[in-house]
Amino acid sequence: MAEITIQNLVKTYPGQTERATDDVSLHVDDGEFMVLLGPSGCGKTTLLRMVAGLELPDAGSVHIGGRDVTYLPPNKRNLSMVFQSYAVFPHRRVRHNIGFGLAMAKVPKAEIEKKVAWAADLLQLGPYLDRYPAQLSGGQRQRVAVARAIVMDADVLLMDEPLSNLDALLRLGFRAELKRIVEQIGTTTLYVTHDQVEALSLGDRIAVMRTGQVAQLGRPIEVYDHPSDTFVGGFIGSPPMNFLDAMAHGGVDGGVDGGTITVGDAKLPAPGGLPDGPVRLGIRAEAISVVDAHTEGAVPAMVDVVEPLGAATLLTVRVGEQEVKVQVPPDVNVRNGQTVHLSLTPRAMRLYDAETGLGLDLR
């Protein structure tokens, strides 16, 4: 186990003009589960591959456990990794796939067997140890890939979208299992995904990446509740955060509790200290509720789409020209075309600069 310190990593792929990672720095604590989250092309996999040594950076450094590994080959870094494609060796039986890293390190046979048995037990691979990968299902191959990674006494466990090739049901089941296993072995983990639900459910912390940079770094609930900008808010959550064009009125002298925000015709209370002018109001679907028309500060809206999801009902409504997602309890009875009134939970409102999309820090 070890901490990972990434400093100012810059990487531009040959023939490209844009940087794949642009001066990224990140510290992962010993034993921490860090998720790199972002849309495809944001540089998260490149960053992981530089930690693995599969790509070399143009500038910057990677330290693992205080050791500078920036230019060390992968086999000298004491890592283990789960690949998106699994990369389970087709010519080796499951047993010899799981024990691959140990065999390469010339660990005594008896010890390899013991560890393989332990990992196989943990991942329910016992009955398949003498099969070849071609005789396994995709989910089982994935388990082999994870088993192969956890038997290593590695400093760092790297995972590159390990669940993305599984079907939805398997993914859900295996996600919980993966969390349990990683918590049990306690290895420092760097996990790449583009699936925000995965990131929220697995990570101790999440680094949201965009165009080669870390847009926000924080615990899942922080990232979810307080997105640092409209990009992060729009990327995390299902549905993503709503953003409404609004006008802020800071009140007298930026006085406390003095501000208001106008959305359409509705006036909402807002924290003080706001500069007058246009802002983007961010609010999550579950922080909006449908209320009685006479409620103070209720925003009228027109229902466009009603999607019952079982546990909740998702409404797509229009506030003026702006589309808003609202999550209401399943027993709320609304129909298409109906006018409803929305109440926005004040402490769930986030304000962003209308031009840059950056959060206005008013907490």
Partner 1 sequence: MARARRTRAVPPAYLLIAPSVVFMALLLGWPMVSGILQAFVGPDGVTGAYLQRMNSDPAFWSAVRNTLLLIVVLLPLQFLFALVMAFLLQARPKGHALYFYLWAIPLAVSDLAAGLVWLSIFTDRGYLNSVLETLGLGSVSWLSYENYGSMFVAILIAELWRATSLVLVIVISGMQGIPKDYDEAANVFGASYLQRLRHVWLPLLKPSLQVALILRTILAFQTFAVAQALTGQDFPVLVGETYRWYTALQNPHVASAIAMVVMAVSMVTAVIYLKTLRDSTKGAS
| Minimum distance, C-beta of residue 156 to partner 1, in the bound complex (Å) | 10
Exposed/middle/buried for 84, CB within 10 Å: 0-12, 13-18, 19+?
A: middle
- Cβ neighbour number for residue 172 with a 10 Å cutoff: 14
Applying CB under 8 A, the residues found at the interface with partner 1 are 52-54, 73-75, 77-81, 83, 85, 87, 89-92, 100-101, 104-105, 130-135, 148, 152, 158
Tell me if 60 sits within 8 A of 10, measured CB to CB: yes
CB closer to partner 1, 57 vs 357:
57
For residue 138, CA distances in Å to 111, 118, 252, 285 come to 28, 21, 63, 35
What tokens does 191 get? 């996990």
Q: Which is nearer to partner 1, 51 or 328 (CB)?
A: 51
Least distance (Å) from partner 1 to the CB of residue 96? 9
Strands 4-11 and 21-28: antiparallel
Q: Name the residue among 240, 246, 259 with its Cα closest to residue 319.
A: 246
DSSP-assigned letters across all residues of 267-301: EEEE-S-PPSEEEEEEE-GGGEEEE-TTSTTPEEE
**Phi, psi of 362, rounded to the nearest 5 degrees:** -125, 15
CA torsion sign for 223, 226, 230, 236 is positive
Q: Smallest distance, Å, CB 342 to partner 1?
A: 49
Shortest Å, Cβ 172 to partner 1 = 25
| Cα 355 from chain centroid (whole Å) | 25
C-alpha distances (whole Å) from 35 to each of 135, 194, 349 are 32, 10, 26
Residue 288, both tokens: 């909006």
Q: Least distance from C-beta 76 to partner 1, angstroms?
A: 8
Q: From CA 311, how far away is CA 308, in angstroms rounded? A: 8
Nearer to partner 1, 124 or 339 (CB): 124
Question: What single-letter DSSP state applies at residue 225?
Answer: H
**With respect to partner 1, which residue has the nearer C-beta, 52 or 123?**
52
Quote the least distance from Cβ 350 to partner 1, whole Å: 40
Smallest distance from partner 1 to CB 59, Å: 23
Burial pattern 189-212, b for ≥16 Cβ within 10 A else e, equals: bbbbbbbbebbbebbebbbbbbbb
- Tokens linked to 334: 């609304």
In angstroms, give the least distance from the CB of 95 to partner 1: 12
Taking the least distance from each CB to partner 1, the nearer of 73 and 173 is 73
What sign does the CA torsion over 302, 304, 309, 310 have?
A: positive
Q: Which is nearer to partner 1, 137 or 336 (CB)?
A: 137
Nearer to partner 1, 155 or 198 (CB): 155
Closest distance to partner 1 from the beta carbon of 173 (Å): 24
Pick 156 or 209: Cβ nearer partner 1: 156
Query: 1 vs 87, which CB is nearer to partner 1?
Result: 87
Tell me how far apart the alpha carbons of residues 200 and 237 are, in angstroms, rounded to a whole number: 9
Rounded least distance, CB 97 to partner 1, Å: 10
For partner 1, give the closer residue by CB, 162 or 259.
162
Residue with tokens 């990674």: 149
